A and B are shown apart, each in its own frame.
Chain A
Amino acid sequence: MINYLGRDVPDYVEGYGKVKHYLGAFKTVPEGTAYGPPIKAASPRRSKFYPNLTDLFKGLGLKSGMTFSFHHHLRNGDQVVNMVLDTAAKLGLNDLAVSLTAAFPTHAPMIGHIKSGVVTSLRTSGVYGPLAAAISGGVLPKPVIFHSHGGRPRSLKSGELKVDVAIIAAPTADDRGNLSGAVGKSACGSLGYAFGDADHATHVVAVTDNLVDYPLLPASIGQNKVDHVVLVESLGDPQGIVSGTTKVTKDPVGLVIADLAAKAIKASGLLKNGFSFQTGAGGASLAAAHYVGQMMREAKVKGSFALGGITGYMVDMLEEGLFGNLYDVQSFDLESVRSMSRNPNHVEVSADLYANPFNSGCLVNDLDAVILGATEIDIDFNVNAITGSDGVLMGAAGGHPDTAAGAKMTVIVATLLRSRLPIVVDRVITATTPGETVDVLVTEYGLAVNPSRPDLKDRFVKAGLTVKDIHELKRLAEDLAGVPEKLTFDGPIVALVEYRDGTIIDTVRAAGQ
């Protein structure tokens, strides 16, 4: 059927089942009670320790058809997913469901496990690299479910995602199962995405390469939630885990966009004491944070908190006193890893607290402004964050739909043209974030305001900003680059885009191969 957003989504999808359709950003409400795992008991002096993954699999009797979950805090340095799936394959397991909070090029070996039937389904917030292309080509027998960072803890709580084995890569652990990401050779900072897995999985397994004496304090995840501890030689490549120092972009066009985005935030009237803010880790997003910081300094504004994936740049803003607190669900670089362990105002938070729409109050609801990217945006302000202009998977929903829904002002920053293609289109190929939650598009040629926010438009016009109609920006892009040929996708459905409330907002069909 054609859903609320005008997207054609079938009522039933093979390999997924009956579809609960998207009805609007705040229309679907939860029902029932929260799902919980079996009640557990640990006898005194019983060891949780396994010397390797093979012994763990045999000891727990892990078998085909189970659901394994993983977090992506080790990003492109992660080898834990590969090690666990290799072990499962070696022991003859198949038909495994994988819930991996985001997949990176390092996870390319999963393609082999999919082809051999070891892995048959995947839930994730985003896929990068060879695995993304393979999924777009239809390698998986069941459609991938793309969730948001807030949608995942919601599905754990509702029981839609039932995890048999939560594998929590832990940069440091003790043998009773106290875990921390703050220290160790594979330090990654926050373990925020894994908290829900520790609460809801049948077996909670810590995998570490840094086993320390008991007790490990402070611990991010405590021994009362962790059933087993496995020691491996290495969790992965530290170079891929933290990206080093993240820097403000030097790209002049990126700076023009960032400058205008910051001016829009100032003109919105939100930039006052108690201001709260989220931005991405990309160079242009950081540049926007840089300009926002300058404005806060000049106006002597003391912000309340910054949220999300945290970079050294945000740490500098915290230490300068521009913000009172950082809420860290994911640490992007070494500076943020260090800061979280030494600064009591830099706080590790779970994905549930960060963005779950179905709890008693998530942090994104208290955001004043968020700056987000897009691969495409359409004239109704719907945003595509997961497929490219060719329909091939290339990005992540991440916290995009969550922060857009929660923030008082959602700003999308994007260059008007990307590789000769206009990014403002009549209709995005894949809708990940509904236009009703997006307020402003900022490009190098000016900004466009969602017609649902005439108040913002008035403020921007009064502030002398270059305000254009989104149709005008689209025309401008097409004048420069021409009108791209319309692509149609009528192959099989390779992925479903789950909105944060658990409804299906759109589908992704096979492309690219």
Chain B
Amino acid sequence: MTSRRSMLFVPGNNPAMVQTARLFGADVIILDLEDAVAPSEKDAARELVASALMAIDYGPAEKCVRLNGLDACCSEDLVDIVPSHPDLVMLPKVNRAEDIISLAGELDRHERPGQKRIGILAIIESPQGLAEVHEIANSHFRLMGLLLGAEDYTAMVGSTRTKEGAEIAVPRALVVNAAAAGDIESFDAVFTDANDEEGLLADTRLAKNMGFTGKAAVNPRQIKTINDTFNPSPAEIEQARRIVKALAQAEKEGSGVASVGGKMVDAPVAKRALNLMNLARKLGLAS
């Protein structure tokens, strides 16, 4: 469990939004060079995003750039973007493990000696990408997480996108499972109706319950709901605290087995509790 609860997409060709993106509490700010930018404006957007990465203090948020696809002008993006030190790059339309390996190779070539290594986020938004999602999740150590791209995916398989999201139940489960198996993060698809606050809350709760570690947003007004939902609840923190205490007690007593409420704490539960306490502390929700 990491502190990447929310990621905010910001059009890379909109100076005002690029400048104000830090204000909304998103854990990851994604400066978008792909869908938000018309082909004729790619150059200008690259320049703006590269300058913003260097000039604007985004505070505790991680800086990510959504690149254009490998079949489009991804390579040109990297020439401008890598020297500007983003924390992460996001690759759209990832169909196979080789896509990530290829991007990682490009990053190797562009990063300067001593530069902090740039992580990769992959968007799974095609039937082929979903079919190969386990291989993708385990493709490269630079890969930090998977984002489900539900709009493109449903369009490609011919299903109808609904607010309830029954049509993406399986893709969601596959992405969560692949990410867990690869020990990376998983991010739920955006909820596109920025004015439906109740819909967003329900969709975000569902994502958290399914095991996603975070969720993407298209509108800054969605960030608070996403962060609040992914924040560990007081009950979760209390339970984790009990588990951690029991583990410490067991270790002190030289016992290999800890138990809480009469139930044995097995390894995955212990790991989850430790992660949750770390997250709660990082977010200032627990001491």
Contact = CB atoms under 8 A, between A and B. Distances in A.
A252 B19 contact: no
B11 interface: no
Given A252-B220, A255-B221, A445 B23 contact: yes
B80 to A, nearest CB: 21
A368 interface: no
20 contacts: A250-B194, A250-B195, A250-B221, A252-B20, A252-B23, A252-B24, A252-B219, A252-B220, A252-B221, A253-B20, A253-B23, A255-B221, A256-B23, A256-B24, A417-B19, A444-B20, A444-B23, A445-B23, A480-B19, A480-B56
A255 B19 CA distance: 16
A256 B219 CA distance: 13
Contacts of A253: 20, 23
A417 B56 CA distance: 15
A398 to B, nearest CB: 28
Contacts of B219: 252
A480 B56 CA distance: 8
Nearest to A480: B19
Interface string A245-260: 0000010110110000
Interface in A465-491: 480
Contacts of A417: 19
A480 B20 CA distance: 10
B223 to A, nearest CB: 9
A441 to B, nearest CB: 16
Contacts of B56: 480
Nearest to B15: A420
A413 to B, nearest CB: 14
Interface string A232-266: 00000000000000000010110110000000000
Nearest to A257: B23
Contacts of B220: 252
Contacts of B194: 250
Interface in B67-113: none
Interface in B14-61: 19-20, 23-24, 56
A432 B44 CA distance: 41
Given A252-B20, A253-B20, 12 more contacts: A250-B194, A252-B23, A252-B24, A252-B219, A252-B221, A255-B221, A256-B23, A444-B20, A444-B23, A445-B23, A480-B19, A480-B56
Interface string B216-250: 00011100000000000000000000000000000
Contacts of A445: 23
A479 to B, nearest CB: 8
Nearest to B20: A253
A256 B21 CA distance: 11
Contacts of B24: 252, 256
Nearest to A444: B23
Interface string A432-464: 000000000000110000000000000000000
Interface of B: 19-20, 23-24, 56, 194-195, 219-221
B68 to A, nearest CB: 26
Contacts of B221: 250, 252, 255
Most central of A252, A253, A417 by chain B CB within 10 Å: A252
A108 to B, nearest CB: 31
A252 B56 CA distance: 19
Contacts, number: 20
Contacts of B20: 252-253, 444
Which are the 3 A-B pairs with shortest beta-carbon distances?
A252-B220, A256-B23, A444-B23
A276 B56 CA distance: 40
A356 B42 CA distance: 58
A93 B23 CA distance: 57
Contacts of A252: 20, 23-24, 219-221
Contacts of A255: 221
B56 to A, nearest CB: 8
B61 to A, nearest CB: 14
A215 B20 CA distance: 58
A480 B58 CA distance: 13
Contacts of A250: 194-195, 221
A444 B220 CA distance: 13
A252 B194 CA distance: 11
A41 B195 CA distance: 61
Nearest to B195: A250
A179 to B, nearest CB: 42
A461 to B, nearest CB: 16
B133 to A, nearest CB: 33
Nearest to A252: B220
A250 B222 CA distance: 11
A478 B251 CA distance: 56
Most central of B23, B24, B195, B221 by chain A CB within 10 Å: B23
Nearest to A255: B221
A259 to B, nearest CB: 9
B142 to A, nearest CB: 32
Nearest to A253: B20
Nearest to B222: A252
Nearest to B22: A445
A255 B195 CA distance: 14
Nearest to B223: A252
Nearest to A250: B221
A255 B23 CA distance: 10
B278 to A, nearest CB: 22
A322 B270 CA distance: 47
Interface in A251-305: 252-253, 255-256
A118 B51 CA distance: 56
Most central of B20, B194, B220, B221 by chain A CB within 10 Å: B20
Contacts of A444: 20, 23
A250 B195 CA distance: 9
Nearest to A445: B23
A133 B220 CA distance: 36
Interface string A198-230: 000000000000000000000000000000000
B19 to A, nearest CB: 6
Nearest to B8: A252
Nearest to B19: A480
Contacts of B19: 417, 480
B26 to A, nearest CB: 11
A465 to B, nearest CB: 14
Most central of A250, A253, A417, A444 by chain B CB within 10 Å: A253
Interface string A409-447: 000000001000000000000000000000000001100
A480 B55 CA distance: 8
A444 B22 CA distance: 10
